[in-house]
Amino acid sequence: MSNLDFERIYLNSSKAHGRFRLAPTGLGWKPAAVAGSATKQEPYLLPSEELSSATWSRASRGYELRVQTKNRGVLSFDGFDTQDFNTLKNELQRSFNVLLDHREHSMRGWNWGDLDLTRNEVQFHIQGKPAFELPYSNIHNTNMAGKNEVTVEMAPGDNKQVAGDEVVEMRFYIPGVEENLDENAEETEEVKTKAAAFHEQLKEKADIGQYSGDAIASFTDVLFLTPRGRFDIDMYASSLRLRGKTYDHKIQFRSIERIFSLPKPDEIQHLMVLQINPPLRQGQTPYPFLVLQIVKDEELELEINLDDEEFQKYDGRLHKKYDQQTHLVLSHVFRGLTERRIIVPGSFQTTKGQAAVACSLKVNEGYLYFLEKCFLFLPKPTVYIPYADVSHVDISRVENMSANRTFDLEVNLRSGASHKFANVSKEEQSGIIAFLKEKQFVQSFSGLVEYVLSGDKNLICCKN
């Protein structure tokens, strides 16, 4: 067999077209060079022994060759002409003994049908015809959203500049219960719904339950304030998994933007905050911040699960063994695996030597941290305010400070929005003003915070 080439073919819905080639050793795809494009996509090669089956169907750019592999998932090549079918069918049959099956997709538009978990993808059929396919490689997570509902979250793409809308979640309603074919099973045994059975099979096939490899580090029964609950944390080379009673979540390290490690002013607890993008979702609720709470004096012994060769790759970012306070171990392991800087309290201190002041945001009581580059309100709702986004800060209820034991701090943003932190202790006023001055927030009327020209110039935008 000589090489068979096709131009302007798109691999897995790629934006760039390329050359598709069938050769005696397998098939390949090479992206076309585009003048002025900064995007670089690597060629793809599939050896002949990996080909399992192939289908032909109408697609968005013409006709699609869909290849099921033995160990590399499913591949789609889009952009063929209708007359290419016979050529491809003959070559696949002759060279690889693979039959090219011509399929017609369902065009009815129904939202009900049959789900099939195949080797490499979820297939949804309507009256025996495929309506859509969902490769396991595109599935990021799955959870039970109810007794008969299963949510499937899509994996975020590597391309940060996605044009237009994209699917981020699908929800399947699967009624009914599994039939118990075991005659010896006890009648009291809990009946499993078909939705639960589908959920378990999908986790296994999409490899989003237990990982095939061992965790580098594991932390059990960690209390999360947001989202509320206790989770086990398994940390791997490029991601972590949260395993709770109801929800399981997989978080790629590249989606973690910031990590905060902050003592709670009660001097009993310690908080860790992960800012993630895209947010973690439970049902319809997004969680861009995960707030962990650890007992400050709790200690932990941990041994990193890496052989010597793998351990050396972390270049001193991890220790082989830990035996110290749990929050310190968590912080060090997170920093070592994610390569993210841990943000800790800076120079600000309250009259009691704490890093935050107690206050309330609307009806929520919490703590406002004055960090080196941002305000941070914890625990719920978590509000992150970079100083660069602040227009000005107002302090109210200051004329009758002798009668008032508290004051309000309102942070106004350049966007026009504002956050009002109420019931801050009067004892903290001078320290807060000094900190804002140190950050050069108080400069002039054009500065981030304005002087009051009459009366006490230590007051900032005083309001009654």
CATH 2.30.29.150 occupies which residues in the chain?
217-343
Q: Classify domain 217-343 at the CATH class level.
A: mainly beta
What pLDDT does 449 receive?
40
What pLDDT does 226 receive?
95
Q: Which pLDDT band, with edges at 50, 70 and 90, does 192 fall under?
A: confident
Q: Do 236 and 137 contact (CB within 8 A), yes or no? A: no
Whether 317 shows a pLDDT value over 50: the answer reads: yes
**Of 190, 430, 219, which is closest to residue 337 (Cα–Cα)?**
219
Question: What residue type is 3 in one-letter code?
Answer: N
Whether 157 shows a pLDDT value over 70: the answer reads: no
Q: Which pLDDT band, with edges at 50, 70 and 90, does 447 fall under?
A: very low
Whether 284 shows a pLDDT value over 90: the answer reads: no
Q: What average pLDDT does this structure show over 25-34?
A: 89
Q: What average pLDDT does this structure show over 9-23?
A: 91
Q: Cα–Cα–Cα angle for 160, 166, 170, nearest 5°?
A: 125
Whether 445 shows a pLDDT value over 50: the answer reads: no
Percent of the chain whose predicted confidence (pLDDT) is above 70: 86
Rg (CA), the chain: 29
Burial (0-12, 13-18, 19+ Cβ within 10 Å), 280: buried
Q: Do 395 and 429 contact (CB within 8 A), yes or no? A: yes
Among 94-103, 251-260, 357-366, 403-412, whose mean pLDDT is lowest? 403-412
What pLDDT does 135 receive?
92
In sequence order, the 6+-apart residues with CB closer than 8 A to the CB of 272 are: 259, 260, 261, 262, 291, 292, 294, 327, 330, 331, 334
CA–CA dist 223, 12 (Å, integer):
40
Q: What average pLDDT does this structure show over 231-249?
A: 91
In sequence order, the 6+-apart residues with CB closer than 8 A to the CB of 324 are: 299, 300
Whether 459 shows a pLDDT value over 90: the answer reads: no
Q: Classify domain 356-444 at the CATH class level.
A: mainly beta
How do residues 377-428 score in pLDDT, each as one tens digit?
999 999 999 999 988 888 876 555 555 789 999 898 989 999 999 999 999 9
CA distances 249 to 77, 140, 149, 448, Å, are 31, 9, 17, 40
How do residues 37-85 score in pLDDT, each as one tens digit?
555 678 899 999 999 999 999 998 999 999 999 999 999 999 999 999 9
Rounded to the nearest integer, the mean pLDDT of the chain is 86
Q: Do 271 and 293 contact (CB within 8 A), yes or no? A: yes
CB neighbours of residue 52 within 10 Å: 16
Percent of the chain whose predicted confidence (pLDDT) is above 90: 65
What pLDDT does 185 receive?
53
Q: Cα–Cα–Cα angle for 48, 53, 54, nearest 5°?
A: 100
- The pair phi, psi for residue 428, each rounded to 5°, is -95, -5
What pLDDT does 207 receive?
77
Whether 178 shows a pLDDT value over 50: the answer reads: yes
Whether 444 shows a pLDDT value over 60: the answer reads: no
Instruction: Name the range with the highest mean pLDDT among 8-22, 242-256, 261-275.
Output: 261-275
CA–CA dist 55, 124 (Å, integer):
16
Which residue reads 């002798």 in tokens?
402
Whether 356 shows a pLDDT value over 70: the answer reads: yes
CATH topology assigned to domain 4-103: PH-domain like (2.30.29)
CATH 2.30.29.30 occupies which residues in the chain?
4-103, 356-444
